[in-house]
Amino acid sequence: MPYSAEHKQRTRERIVECARVLFNRKGFTEVSIDEIMASARLTRGGFYNHFRTKEELFVEAVAAYQDFNPVDRWPQLDFDPGRRGAAFARQMVDVYLSREHLDDIDGHCPMIALPSDVARASPGVKHAYRGLLERMAGMLAQSAGAPAGTQTARRRGLALAALCVGGMVLARTIEDDTFREEIRAATRTMAHELID
């Protein structure tokens, strides 16, 4: 009896989530299809029912983060999607730069976990990564104090996104916890200044 479309979709989502976590932990090149499928508790042959290549899966794993809800992963954080304006932008910055996000390697945003892999990847992967950046910058641009839809708002959104991602990339590479915290605090302070 063939599987239902719903079952196939759930299986595909499970493969994407397992791949996303493994890519975050090890990077694109160090993760095999066999490893992804074992993590999803499926056989290698099943992979090709959903994806043609590992790179196609990588595109989907990066793009899937666009629908990420931080409360689903870190319920202890203060995040209300109903907030508007500067309050929304500040909470976005605070969640992105949170200790919970920094410490959760499996839950990292691909912009933090995978920039080197994406830089060497196909145009499809780069397009998905850019889409993620555009979404983040757009959300920040709408909320960061400049008139919506203006070039000033876009520049501010891009600057905030770059500041947050860059701050977290640097903090992730530092072993000294005091310095990691100093980087996160400085980034958060400067981001808040851009918002207000």
Torsional class of 74: left (φ above 0), alpha (ψ -120 to 50), beta (otherwise): beta
User: 47 with 15: CB under 8 angstroms?
Assistant: yes
How crowded is residue 43: how many other Cβ atoms within 10 Å of its Cβ?
10
For the chain, domains (ranges, CATH) are: 5-58 (1.10.10.60), 68-195 (1.10.357.10)
Supply the pLDDT for residue 145.
65
> What residue has token string 């309050």?
87
pLDDT tens for each residue of the chain, 196 residues long: 567 889 899 999 999 999 999 999 999 999 999 999 999 999 998 999 999 999 999 999 998 888 888 989 999 998 998 888 889 999 999 999 999 999 999 999 999 999 999 999 999 999 999 999 999 999 898 776 667 678 888 999 999 999 999 999 999 999 999 999 999 999 999 999 998 7
What was the pLDDT predicted at 184? 97
What are the CA-CA distances from residue 108 to residues 49, 65, 175, 187 (Å)?
28, 9, 17, 17
| Cα-based angle 33, 38, 42 (whole degrees, multiple of 5) | 95
Question: Where are the alpha helices (H) located in 27-67, listed in sequence order?
Answer: 33-39, 44-47, 54-64
